[in-house]
């Protein structure tokens, strides 16, 4: 650029002149062979040279590769009219001749060569915007596995066209190690040695690294196992792919004014060579000596023990593997018996343990032509109408070949070899050679000539031939239309709740064509009166009787009376000139009677969403139902266990009648009953779900009972206790975020509270000078809600003597418990009362006994003596 600026300052003239005679460059001179070097991209009208004419020459002529760029004046001034482009033409070969006044050449022509010198006006461009490659784990450093290529239209012999490749980005970049390097000139990408051994050398000095590597190379002639196993940085299990951003610069990459381009390189890191081989193809019924090697597998290291596992548990497994990993087929295969095999190759160590996952082996059995064509049945039967037109298809004979489909082995040809009878002539039929389709060849058939033809057809593949037999039955043409037995089936009255699937009417039409053919088969279609498709007609194929059935529920409200029109048709088209008329149509009138139906809700479940703090009397939702008969509807609620809601009996609007509480239950579910007013008072039920959105209406509290908190007295150092807070409001996403502080300023000298997270805090002592007793610490907890709520909770903390880490509280007199003296007095009083009661009871018993003895004596004195 600096050079160009200087050249531009020299009156926009750039001249490098070298004559064929080694003369120094000049701006003018005699006519002789010359070579000029001019930079491309210069401004036009640049003077190149002034040729001098020698008498009798008076003018000059320019010829050659001028490209309408180079011109010469009569006086010999050679110049260019526009800027040169080296990439368009690098050398212009011109001829200049001197002419006399008559235009005759008197000198020359002499060759003039214009060399266009390159400037850096083209950027390098990669041949691909994205490259893809792969490298195996532990590949040799410095061995290229991928090349990137760029081109530059500038002169490659100058710095303008000299390219410099460089890796700009490696992703991922692990431990700040570059695993890949690029040859700056060739674009060859390979692994770096630092990347391979980096993992094992981390933490060592440079001299230690060098000594360790030299030690293993000198004594063991290979890198240390520690280096190899500890340096698995390029590990496909950890990073299966890498992405490089490669830049290319011209000017050899040495100039800050160079042009550049970038490309992306995706590199897949491949693992070991233990991988499944490509699917194998084996020709069936091979006569070569068996076993035959078909493929191979290899473990990464020698000494592996190989075996095969039959995935399909076949009774005959025709494969084996040797201890080199070579896989053999042990006997001929039959594709028609089995066309593919899938089994596994396993590599184990000397202890019988698998070295890696099994490899799946696929073997496809290739077909040979070892099966003849087979006929679809002993006799294939077709039917053809009398009036069938020439060329029409009669049917297709489809033979089969057990050989592989879509190959020459199963490609079949068809040929008619015999027609029986040959009436009225032979060759009435032809068959398409490859498709097997039979056609009429000469004339239409007549049943009175013969009702049946038999054809013998040769079916062949490239090696085999088979004879198939075809029977063609001539059937009557469809020249008779179906005729209904009666045109009007009268009126039919049905309730609208008649079951779907019920048969409601039987209709009958007859056809005089040949029975049990497409010409006489009758299909019934409803043409008018049933736009909703509520009815259908099933046909008995043996009797052509039509059974009218209900396909969809009848509806009095939308179709109380329907005039139904049937049409009887054949599946076969009528012959030309015959058309369906009124005889093929019949009708009946369907009268649907009303059945009282329950109201119908517009939805099975109605759902609404409100805030739990809405005012009493707020509308929270509405439901809608309709009665099919058009009766008015009355709404009511069922299952309003909390008495929160009421419903407008006429409109179905639902209102709150009590404070709502999300914490008590959300969603709140009730049933809505719609009852018809009048009629049979039928009703139906729908669900109403009210989702209550939370508001902050519950102050924080302790998450559990914290009685029993204690510190061992005396304290040897300040201690702390952890407690948890909660509240009953809904917490989305982040959960609660409580703040904690002491509930009284007087506690600040003894206690402090610090927040652990949104729900937990730590209560700590500020000193160790506490009495041996219980302290009640008030804690203020704020939930930070909208509006914020706070609660003051009490934490009872006891300072007590400890025995083996547990609080020991000696027994002492407590309020309400008597002293020992009082207890003795109470005991003596109790015993005295019991003694008095016993004495009274004893005296009373004794007195009653004496009275009984007196009465007994008096009775014995008046008792008469027995004789």
Q: Tell which wins on pLDDT, 419 or 864.
A: 419
- The dihedral over CA atoms of 34, 38, 42, 47, expressed in degrees to the nearest 10, equals -20
Phi, psi dihedral angles at 179 (to 5 degrees)? -85, -15
**DSSP strand pairing (34-39 vs 70-72):** unpaired
54's CB contacts (< 8 A; 6+ apart) are 30, 31, 98, 107
**Least confident range of 275-284, 394-403, 559-568, 743-752:** 743-752
pLDDT of residue 631: 84
- C-alpha 435/C-alpha 399 separation (Å) is 10
pLDDT of residue 377: 94
pLDDT of residue 864: 35
Structural tokens at position 375: 């006929």
- C-alpha 535/C-alpha 527 separation (Å) is 11
pLDDT digits (tens, 9 = 90+) for 220-250: 333 333 333 323 467 888 888 999 999 999 9
pLDDT of residue 645: 93
Q: Is the peptide bond before 667 cis (omega within 30 degrees of 0)?
A: yes
Q: Please compute the mean of the pLDDT values over residues 324-328 and round it to a whole number.
A: 96
pLDDT digits (tens, 9 = 90+) for 171-201: 998 888 899 999 999 999 998 876 544 433 3
Q: Which pTM value belongs to this model? A: 0.32
Q: Please compute the mean of the pLDDT values over residues 789-794 and round it to a whole number.
A: 86
User: Which CATH superfamily does the domain covering 482-588 fall into?
Assistant: Cadherins (2.60.40.60)
pLDDT of residue 16: 34
Q: Please compute the mean of the pLDDT values over residues 95-118 and round it to a whole number.
A: 92
Task: Report, at the CATH architecture level, how domain 125-196+232-270 is classified.
Answer: Sandwich (2.60)
Phi, psi dihedral angles at 251 (to 5 degrees)? 60, 25
Position 19 pLDDT exceeds 60: no
Which of 591, 594, 486 is CA-nearest to residue 529? 591
Tell me if 363 sits within 8 A of 282, measured CB to CB: yes
pLDDT of residue 745: 84
pLDDT digits (tens, 9 = 90+) for 476-506: 788 889 999 999 999 999 988 889 999 999 9
Structural tokens at position 427: 């060759």
pLDDT digits (tens, 9 = 90+) for 597-646: 788 898 889 999 888 888 999 999 999 998 887 788 899 999 998 899 99
pLDDT band at 858; cut points 50, 70, 90: very low
User: Which CATH superfamily does the domain covering 281-366 fall into?
Assistant: Cadherins (2.60.40.60)
Instruction: Please determine whether the domains at 125-196+232-270 and 482-588 fall in the same fold group of CATH.
Output: yes
Helices 206-220 and 193-201: angle between axes, nearest 10 degrees? 100
Position 22 pLDDT exceeds 90: no
pLDDT of residue 726: 87
442's CB contacts (< 8 A; 6+ apart) are 390, 425, 427, 428
Task: Give the count of beta carbons closer than 10 Å to the beta carbon of residue 430.
Answer: 16
pLDDT of residue 818: 56
402, with CB counted inside 10 A (0-12, 13-18, 19+), is: middle
Q: Please compute the mean of the pLDDT values over residues 800-825 and round it to a whole number.
A: 65
CATH topology assigned to domain 379-475 = Immunoglobulin-like (2.60.40)
- In 215-236, which positions are buried (b, 16+ CB within 10 angstroms) versus exposed (e)? eeeeeeeebbeebeeebebbeb
pLDDT of residue 54: 86
- From residue 709, alpha-carbon distances to 341, 693, 719, 745 in Å are 74, 38, 12, 22
Structural tokens at position 426: 């032979």
- C-alpha 759/C-alpha 738 separation (Å) is 6
Task: Report, at the CATH architecture level, how domain 701-807 is classified.
Answer: Sandwich (2.60)
**Separation of first and last alpha carbons in the chain:** 175
Which of 592, 600, 594 is CA-nearest to residue 532? 592
Is 28-117 CATH 2.60.40.60?
yes
Alpha carbon of residue 497 to chain centroid: 48
Q: Which residue has the tokens 């529920």?
A: 553
pLDDT band at 379; cut points 50, 70, 90: very high
Whole-number percent of the chain with pLDDT over 70:
87
Mean pLDDT of the chain: 83
pLDDT digits (tens, 9 = 90+) for 729-776: 776 666 778 889 988 888 888 899 998 898 899 999 989 889 889 999
Is 600-693 CATH 3.40.50.300?
no
**DSSP strand pairing (790-803 vs 806-808):** antiparallel
Task: Give the count of beta carbons closer than 10 Å to the beta carbon of residue 734.
Answer: 7
In three-state secondary structure terms, 807 is: strand
**Least confident range of 57-71, 225-239, 308-322, 450-464:** 225-239
Domain residue limits, the chain? 28-117, 125-196+232-270, 281-366, 379-475, 482-588, 600-693, 701-807
Which of 87, 96, 94 is CA-nearest to residue 59? 96
């Amino acid at each position: 650029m600096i050079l160009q600026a200087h050249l531009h300052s020299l009156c926009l003239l750039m001249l490098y002149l070298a004559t064929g005679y080694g003369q120094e460059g000049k701006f003018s001179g005699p006519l002789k062979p010359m070579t000029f070097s001019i930079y491309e991209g210069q401004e036009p009208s640049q003077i190149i040279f002034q040729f001098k004419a020698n008498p009798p020459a008076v003018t000059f002529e320019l010829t050659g590769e001028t490209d309408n760029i180079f011109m010469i004046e009569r006086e010999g001034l050679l110049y260019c009219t526009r800027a040169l482009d080296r990439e368009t033409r690098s050398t212009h070969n011109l001829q200049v001749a001197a002419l006399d006044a008559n235009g005759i050449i008197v000198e020359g022509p002499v060759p003039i060569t214009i060399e266009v010198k390159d400037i850096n006006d083209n950027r390098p461009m990669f041949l691909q915007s994205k490259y893809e490659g792969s490298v195996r784990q532990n590949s040799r450093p410095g061995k290229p596995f991928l090349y990137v290529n760029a081109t530059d239209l500038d002169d490659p012999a100058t710095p303008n066209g000299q390219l410099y490749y460089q890796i700009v980005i490696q992703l991922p970049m692990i431990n700040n190690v570059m695993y890949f390097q690029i040859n700056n000139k060739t674009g060859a990408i390979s692994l770096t040695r630092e990347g391979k051994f980096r993992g094992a050398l981390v933490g060592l000095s440079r001299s230690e690294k060098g000594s360790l590597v030299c030690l293993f190379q000198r004594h063991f002639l290979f890198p240390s196992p520690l280096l190899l196993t500890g340096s698995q940085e390029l590990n496909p299990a950890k990073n299966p792919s890498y992405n490089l951003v490669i830049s290319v610069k011209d000017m050899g990459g040495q100039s800050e004014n160079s042009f550049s381009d970038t490309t992306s390189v995706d590199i897949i890191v491949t693992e070991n060579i233990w991988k499944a081989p490509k699917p194998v193809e084996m020709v069936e019924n091979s006569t070569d000596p068996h076993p035959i090697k078909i493929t191979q597998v290899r473990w990464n290291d020698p000494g592996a023990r190989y075996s095969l596992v039959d995935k399909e548990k076949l009774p005959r497994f025709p494969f084996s593997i040797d201890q080199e990993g070579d896989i053999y087929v042990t006997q001929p295969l039959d594709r028609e018996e089995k066309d593919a095999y899938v089994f596994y190759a396993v590599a184990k160590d000397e202890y019988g343990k698998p070295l890696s996952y099994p490899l799946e082996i696929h073997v496809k059995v290739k077909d040979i032509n070892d099966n003849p064509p087979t006929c679809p049945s002993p006799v294939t039967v077709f039917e053809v109408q009398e009036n069938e037109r020439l060329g029409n298809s009669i049917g297709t004979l489809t033979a089969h070949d057990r050989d592989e489909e879509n190959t020459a082995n199963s490609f079949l040809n068809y040929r008619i070899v015999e027609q029986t009878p040959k009436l009225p002539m032979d060759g009435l039929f032809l068959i398409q050679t490859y498709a097997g389709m039979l056609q009429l060849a000469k004339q239409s058939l007549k049943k009175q000539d013969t009702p049946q033809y038999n054809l013998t057809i040769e079916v062949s593949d490239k090696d085999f031939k088979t004879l198939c037999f075809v029977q063609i039955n001539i059937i009557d043409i469809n020249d008779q239309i179906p005729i209904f037995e009666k045109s009007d089936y009268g009126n039919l009255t049905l309730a609208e709740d008649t079951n779907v699937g019920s048969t409601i009417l039987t209709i009958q039409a007859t056809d005089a064509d040949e029975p049990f053919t497409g010409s006489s088969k009758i299909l019934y279609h409803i043409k008018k009166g049933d736009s909703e498709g509520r009815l259908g007609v099933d046909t008995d194929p043996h009797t052509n009787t039509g059974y009218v059935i209900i396909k969809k529920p009848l509806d009095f409200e939308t179709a109380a009376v329907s005039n139904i029109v049937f049409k009887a048709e054949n599946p076969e088209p009528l012959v030309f000139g015959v058309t369906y008329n009124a005889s093929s149509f019949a009708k009946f009138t369907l009268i649907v009677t009303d059945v009282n139906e329950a109201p119908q809700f517009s939805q099975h479940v109605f759902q609404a969403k409100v805030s739990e703090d809405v005012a009493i009397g707020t509308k929270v939702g509405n439901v809608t139902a309709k009665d099919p008969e058009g009766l008015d509807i009355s709404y009511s609620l069922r299952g309003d266990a909390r008495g929160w809601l009421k419903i407008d009996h006429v409109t179905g609007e639902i209102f709150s009648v009590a404070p709502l509480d999300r914490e008590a239950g959300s969603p709140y579910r009730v049933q809505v009953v719609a009852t018809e007013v009048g009629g049979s008072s039928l009703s139906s039920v729908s669900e109403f779900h009210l989702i209550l959105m939370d508001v902050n209406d519950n102050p924080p509290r302790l998450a559990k009972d914290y009685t029993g908190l204690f510190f061992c007295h005396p304290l040897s150092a300040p201690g702390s206790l952890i407690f948890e807070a909660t509240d009953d409001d809904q917490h989305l996403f982040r959960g609660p975020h409580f703040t904690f502080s002491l509930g009284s300023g007087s506690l600040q000298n003894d206690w402090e509270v610090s927040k652990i997270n949104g729900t937990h805090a730590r209560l700590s002592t500020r000193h160790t000078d506490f009495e041996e007793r219980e302290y009640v610490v008030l804690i203020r907890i704020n939930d930070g809600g909208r509006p914020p709520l706070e609660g003051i909770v009490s934490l009872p903390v006891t300072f007590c003597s400890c025995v083996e880490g547990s609080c020991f509280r000696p027994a002492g007199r407590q309020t309400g418990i008597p002293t020992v003296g009082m207890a003795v007095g109470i005991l003596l009083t109790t015993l005295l009362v019991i003694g008095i009661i016993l004495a009274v009871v004893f005296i009373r018993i004794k007195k009653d006994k004496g009275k009984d003895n007196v009465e007994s004596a008096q009775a014995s004195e008046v008792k008469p003596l027995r004789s």
